Amino acid sequence: MILKESQINQKIFKDMGMNKWRETKIADLKQGTRIRLYSPAGRPLELGGEETFLTESDAFQTEGVWAVRVKKAP
């Protein structure tokens, strides 16, 4: 799945280790980063019952918009 900055209105948090999460931007994501997405109301985005995702690529620009490939985290 590809997440594009202009398609989502969620807050993105990356895993900082030791069960600590920090808000980040798509442009700052690197391959192999665990992330969670939350709606502006604070509800987690889920895919197949999972709310933690793993980036499969570094952030990249497509048509002038930041994007990243993600999959459900194992």
State if pTM tops 0.85. Answer: no
pLDDT in tens, 15-26: 898 889 998 999
**CB-CB contact of 72 with 45 (8 Å):** no
Mean pLDDT (the chain, rounded): 85
Pull the structure tokens for residue 4.
């594009």
pLDDT of residue 8: 59
pLDDT band with cut points at 50, 70 and 90 for residue 33:
very high
pLDDT in tens, 34-53: 999 887 777 887 776 778 89
Buried b / exposed e along 43-73 (16+ C-beta atoms within 10 A): eebeeeeeebbbbeeebeeeeeebbbbbeee
Pull the structure tokens for residue 8.
């989502």
